[in-house]
Amino acid sequence: MIVASLVSLLLLSSSGKASLHRAKLSKTNRTELDPEREALHIASKYGAFSGTKRTFRVGPHVVVREDDNLYWTQDGQEVLKGGHKVPLTNYANAQYYTEIQIGTPGQTFKVILDTGSSNLWVPSTKCDSIACLLHAKYDSSASSTYKANGSDIEIAYAGSGNVTGIVSRDTVVIGDMKIPGQDFAEAMKLPGLAYAFGKFDGMLGLAYKSISVNHVTPPFYNMVDKKMVDSPIFSFRLGSSEEDPGEVVFGGIDASHYKGSLTYVPLRRLAFWEVKLQGIKLGDDVVELEDTGAVIDTSTSLIVAPFEIAELINSQIGAKRQWNGQYTVPCEARSTLPDFTMSVRGTEFVLTGMEYILKLGETCISAFTPVNLNVPGGDLWVLGDIFLRKYFTVYDFNKNAVGFAESI
């Protein structure tokens, strides 16, 4: 989760029948970009800091897959229909969130749906941090379905500090789905300005593996266990305007969200929504990559690449690093910049200069953010909203794969 992504820059009761659940997004104008804070959160999310070195650590059971033959498309297959649609709100193309309710009667919170984490947390009325004072807070005394747990919980985010609190249990409503007895974290402390000025109140994790602190089962796992969805999948379409912000579909795929066929790529590392990245191309310059993965992350704003490669790309497109960590290019150059192409299992995903350069007022900023995430088995990229606004994605627990198609 990238809580600070562009921060300064600015389902109801279940009928018992599984279906598809959607959510919309909306958009407002941007103000400022903070790529250095973005990089700190990325480094924290997918690893840890050791002294001054950025390192990445995973548990002992992570498996790296090298079965390149596991690759297929949706051609000739029935697209899963129905499901539960949940609307998203798009704030400045930087924060995509939706509203959920916790408790009885429901208390409303804006949460980021994050494919890079597993935790569900919202601020508590017991929190006196500045960030909590500026956001909606959960009041357990006002809910007739609240059950105490009381376990302490601490979620570490480098760059902004730790979210600390207690585990509680209550009814959670996402779209048209009601999940009784859902464990979540009541945040007692939210450090830093990232949370204070974020438009969201909390986070709802959708990671591939449950890496939630204190073994708290994430909401989507409960949706599947309670058979609220027809299939253990969800799909994202991120919009790029307030009028068309996008939506999430739980338990199905809306074929009107993309064109052509879905291409499914198996997960490389059975820990995150990570696929194998074979190579990149900038214009006519090609770089073949070995032992490299790309994590698909709905809460990251930019594209994170190994330091040397990101520096090289920025140099090639004429981006200059500014005092605040931004890599800027003259705005008039955007339309003349070469296409950037990523090769994933034989499929090429292309971003134009107009797509990988962000225009923020009179400033144009490169999306390529340098961070070294030294993972077992090779390098790691993180593909965030810059990529996801162009490419529709499906997250399939049965296939252990991510599906891709161009969004419409």
* CATH classification at residue 208: 2.40.70.10
b/e per residue 297-312 (b: at least 16 CB within 10 A): bbbbbbbbbbbebbbb
Q: Could you tell me which residue, 298 or 35, shows the higher pLDDT? A: 298
pLDDT at 195: 75
Which among 216, 249, 282 is the end of a domain? 249
pLDDT at 316: 97
Same domain, 211 and 278: no
Q: How many C-beta atoms lie closer than 10 Å to residue 131's C-beta?
A: 22
Distance of CA 269 to the CA centre of its chain: 17
Please tell me the distance from the alpha carbon of residue 102 to that of residue 333, in angstroms, as a whole number.
Answer: 48
Is the peptide bond between 105 and the residue preceding it cis, with omega within 30 degrees of 0? yes
Residues with a known catalytic role: 114, 297
Same domain, 313 and 176: no
**Is residue 213 very low, low, confident or very high in pLDDT (cuts 50, 70, 90)?**
low
Q: Cα angle at 250 between 298 and 15, to 5 degrees?
A: 150
Same domain, 92 and 223: yes
* Most trustworthy range by pLDDT among 52-61, 166-175, 243-252: 166-175
Residue 241 maps to a domain: yes
Q: What's the number of domains the chain is made of?
A: 2
How, if at all, do strands 340-344 and 347-351 pair?
antiparallel
Lowest mean pLDDT among 75-84, 147-156, 248-257: 75-84
Which among 187, 215, 249 is the end of a domain? 249
pLDDT, mean of residues 253-271: 92
Measure Cα distances from 7 to 241, 271, 301 in Å. 17, 27, 10
Question: Has residue 192 got a pLDDT over 80?
Answer: no
pLDDT, mean of residues 19-39: 55
Q: Which residues contact 310 (CB under 8 A, 6 or more apart)?
A: 304, 368, 369, 370, 371
Q: Quick check: helix, strand or coil at residue 145?
A: coil
Please tell me the distance from the alpha carbon of residue 12 to that of residue 184, in angstroms, as a whole number.
Answer: 18
Q: Identify whether the C-beta of residue 145 lies closer than 8 Å to the C-beta of residue 327.
A: no
Lowest mean pLDDT among 62-71, 130-139, 374-383: 62-71
What's 333's DSSP letter? G
The rounded percent of the chain whose pLDDT value lies above 70 is: 75
Q: Could you tell me which residue, 143 or 66, shows the higher pLDDT? A: 143
Q: Could you tell me which residue, 7 or 74, shows the higher pLDDT? A: 74
Q: Quick check: helix, strand or coil at residue 167?
A: strand
Q: Which residues contact 4 (CB under 8 A, 6 or more apart)?
A: 34, 37, 38, 40, 41, 159, 160, 192, 194, 198
**Is residue 93 very low, low, confident or very high in pLDDT (cuts 50, 70, 90)?**
low
Same domain, 94 and 231: yes
Please tell me the distance from the alpha carbon of residue 389 to that of residue 397, in angstroms, as a whole number.
Answer: 22
pLDDT at 69: 45
Instruction: Determine whether 199 is exposed, middle or buried from the number of CB atoms within 10 Å of its CB (0-12, 13-18, 19+).
Output: middle
Same domain, 175 and 303: no
Question: Has residue 76 got a pLDDT over 60?
Answer: no
Please tell me the distance from the alpha carbon of residue 28 to that of residue 20, in angstroms, as a whole number.
Answer: 28
pLDDT at 91: 63
pLDDT at 62: 43
What's 318's DSSP letter? T
Residue 388 maps to a domain: yes
pLDDT at 221: 92
Please tell me the distance from the alpha carbon of residue 26 to that of residue 388, in angstroms, as a whole number.
Answer: 15
Same domain, 185 and 313: no
Instruction: Determine whether 245 is exposed, middle or buried from the number of CB atoms within 10 Å of its CB (0-12, 13-18, 19+).
Output: buried
Instruction: Determine whether 159 is exposed, middle or buried from the number of CB atoms within 10 Å of its CB (0-12, 13-18, 19+).
Output: buried
Structure token pair of residue 363? 């400033």
Domain enclosing residue 368, as ranges? 256-407
Same domain, 239 and 282: no
**Is residue 212 very low, low, confident or very high in pLDDT (cuts 50, 70, 90)?**
low
pLDDT at 16: 40
Please tell me the distance from the alpha carbon of residue 259 to that of residue 267, in angstroms, as a whole number.
Answer: 23
Residue 221 maps to a domain: yes
pLDDT (tens digit per residue) in 357-374: 988 888 999 999 998 876
Lowest mean pLDDT among 30-34, 102-106, 153-157, 382-386: 30-34
Question: Has residue 44 got a pLDDT over 80?
Answer: no
Residue 10 maps to a domain: no
Residue 178 maps to a domain: yes
Which among 224, 249, 274 is the end of a domain? 249
Measure Cα distances from 398 to 228, 272, 279 in Å. 16, 14, 27
pLDDT, mean of residues 257-265: 94
Question: Has residue 61 got a pLDDT over 80?
Answer: no
Helices (H), 14-172: 35-45, 130-133
pLDDT at 152: 92
Average pLDDT of the chain? Answer: 81
Residue 150 maps to a domain: yes
Question: Has residue 3 got a pLDDT over 60?
Answer: no
How, if at all, do strands 177-189 and 320-321 pair?
unpaired
Same domain, 185 and 315: no
Residues constituting the chain: 408
Instruction: Please name the residue that has the structure tokens 């900023």.
Output: 365
* Most trustworthy range by pLDDT among 5-9, 173-177, 298-302: 173-177
pLDDT (tens digit per residue) in 282-323: 999 999 999 999 999 998 889 999 999 999 999 999 999 998
